[in-house]
Amino acid sequence: MDGTGRWAQRQNLPRIEGHRRGVASVRRTVEECARLGIEQLTLYCLSSENWKRPQLELDFLMHLLEQYMIEERSIIMGQNIRVRMIGRRDGIPETTLREVDKTIDMSAANSGTRLCLAINYGGRAEMVDAVQRIAQAVERGELSASAIDEQCIARHLYTSGMPDPDLLIRTAGEMRISNFLLWQISYAELWVTELCWPEFEETVLHDAIRDFAARDRRFGGLSPS
C-alpha cells in the first residue's frame, strides 16, 4: 500500500495524515473484495524494514492498526471475513497484538474472504524462519532431508494453508517486489498504478482485475491452441 506519505506531502499535509486517509482505502478495498467473492486479500501493512522510520510515525501506524481492528469488527463479522496475520510479532506493541488476536479469534469460523495482514513482515525473514523450523524437525528425527520438497517448504511458511497470490497490485508507480511474499508470488501477475494508496478506489481495483482476467497465464507452458 505505497504512497501514503507522498500523497500527504503533495497535499501539504503531514505524512501521518496520508496514513489516516489510507485506512479509508483499506476499508473500501476489503469490502469490495468481500462483495466480489475474492478468496484472499493480503495487505502489506508494515515491512520489517519499516522500523527505520521515525518513532512518531511508527507509533501512529500501530495506533491506526489497533483502531482498525476495533472499529471494523462489526463489518468483518457482518461480511463473513476471516482475518489472519503474517510476520514476526516481536516489536509490535502488546496492546496492538491483543486487538489483532481478538479479531482473528472472533472471525476464525467465518468462511468468506480471508483478509491477511502482513505486519512486521519480510519475505527473506519468512524463508529463514521456515528453514529453521525444517532443520529443527530434521534434528528431532521427524523429517528426513530427502522429504524436503516444495510442498514441505510451503507448509513451513507463514502462509501455510493459504493460496499463492494470482495478482500483485502496487500503487504509487513502484516497480519492485520489496521483499513481499518472495516464494509465493513466483507466478503472480503484476499490475502497477501511478495512483497513491489513498487514491485507490473500487474502480481501480476493477481495472486491475479486468486486466488480470485478460492475460494469458501459461505457468511456463504454451498457450492453448
**E-only strand ranges, the chain:** 40-47, 82-86, 114-121, 167-170, 189-192
Q: With the CA atoms of 100, 27, 114 and 98 taken in that order, what torsion angle do they form, in degrees rounded to the nearest 10?
A: 0
Compute the distance between CA of residue 2 and CA of residue 195 in angstroms, rounded to an integer. Answer: 9
**Looking at 50, 101, 129, 207, which residue is catalytic?**
50
* Secondary element (H or E) of residue 106: helix 94-106
Instruction: Dig out the grid coordinates for 71 from the structure.
Output: 472499529
In the residue annotation, 149 being an active-site residue is answered as no
Instruction: Dig out the grid coordinates for 39 from the structure.
Output: 478468496
**Cβ distance 166 to 189 under 8 Å?**
yes
Compute the distance between CA of residue 160 and CA of residue 99 in angstroms, rounded to an integer. Answer: 23
Q: Pick from 102, 127, 113: which is nearest to 43 by CA?
A: 113
**Cβ distance 69 to 103 under 8 Å?**
yes
Q: Pick from 43, 61, 38: which is nearest to 51 by CA?
A: 61
Distance from the Cα of residue 127 to its chain's centroid: 16
In the residue annotation, 110 being an active-site residue is answered as no
Instruction: Dig out the grid coordinates for 88 from the structure.
Output: 514476526
The residues that are catalytic are 2, 50
